[in-house]
């Protein structure tokens, strides 16, 4: 089954990186968000599941700290690449695009691997840390999406943007991109955190492992 997760992740990454999201529609915030969320919220957890057998190398107190560190790393990467200057770099050069996407994938795999490793143990503090890492990511992803959605002016582009055959103003494109981030990104992390948290709550032996 692990091979299936990896194949699905590779197919998704190929569609994102070789398709129009990062080429023909690279100036669109909506297209960027679809690519970004596809990498960190869908492909990254599939890769983490594909390498789940290797997650056992994390042990002890490391599994309490690592999910939080991974969530903070994700925060730095995601917020950093959504600064206007960084967005211009990613849009204007192949190097910037490659660096951006590699950062997204690395941070995403790190986060999901750490949280799933912690959530798969029988130790209550470790499992709680795994859930908290994903829920913390939900919070800062939601904050960024809200910032982009409620911004009084476009932060990245001006004029009209074309994406999926639609012509949008820069403000509409940014708002639609923010909705994608909120629905796909924040939703995926929230779902993952809730699943790990529910496993902790439902575990009849949780008091014995604290």
> What residues contact residue 197 under an 8 Å CB cut-off, 6+ apart?
128, 131, 135
Beta bridge mates, 160: 169
Q: Tell me which of 83 and 199 has the higher pLDDT.
A: 83
Range of lowest pLDDT (35-44, 69-78, 123-132) = 123-132
**What percent of the chain is modeled with pLDDT above 70?**
91
Q: Tell how strand 166-169 and strand 160-163 pair up.
A: antiparallel
115: which 2 tokens? 């949280």
What is the residue-averaged pLDDT of the chain?
88
Distances (CA, A) of 88 to 76, 84, 166: 18, 6, 22
Helix (H, G, I), strand (E, B) or coil at 161: strand
* DSSP code of residue 203: -
Q: Report whether pLDDT(208) > 80.
A: no
Share of the chain above pLDDT 90, in %: 65
Q: How do the domains of the chain map onto residue ranges?
A: 2-209
pTM above 0.85, yes or no: yes
pLDDT band at residue 48, thresholds of 50, 70 and 90? Answer: very high
179-195 average pLDDT score: 93
């Amino acid at each position: 089954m692990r091979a299936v997760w990896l194949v699905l992740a590779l197919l998704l990454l190929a569609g994102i990186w070789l398709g129009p999201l990062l080429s023909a529609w690279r100036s669109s915030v909506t297209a960027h968000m679809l690519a970004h969320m596809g990498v960190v919220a869908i492909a990254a957890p599939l890769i983490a599941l594909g390498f789940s057998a290797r997650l056992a190398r994390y042990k002890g107190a490391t599994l309490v700290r690592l999910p939080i560190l991974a969530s903070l790393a994700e925060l730095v990467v995601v917020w950093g690449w959504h600064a206007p200057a960084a967005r211009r770099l990613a849009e204007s050069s192949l190097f910037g695009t490659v660096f951006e996407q590699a950062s997204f994938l690395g941070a995403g795999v790190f986060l999901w691997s750490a949280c799933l490793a912690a959530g798969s143990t029988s130790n209550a503090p470790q499992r709680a840390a795994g859930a908290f890492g994903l829920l913390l990511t939900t919070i800062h992803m939601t904050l960024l999406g809200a910032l982009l959605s409620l911004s009084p002016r476009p932060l990245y582009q001006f004029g009209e943007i074309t994406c999926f055959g639609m012509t949008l103003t820069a403000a509409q494109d940014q708002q639609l991109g923010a909705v994608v981030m909120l629905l796909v990104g924040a939703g995926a992390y929230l779902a993952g955190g809730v699943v790990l948290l529910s496993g902790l709550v439902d575990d009849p032996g949780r008091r014995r492992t604290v």
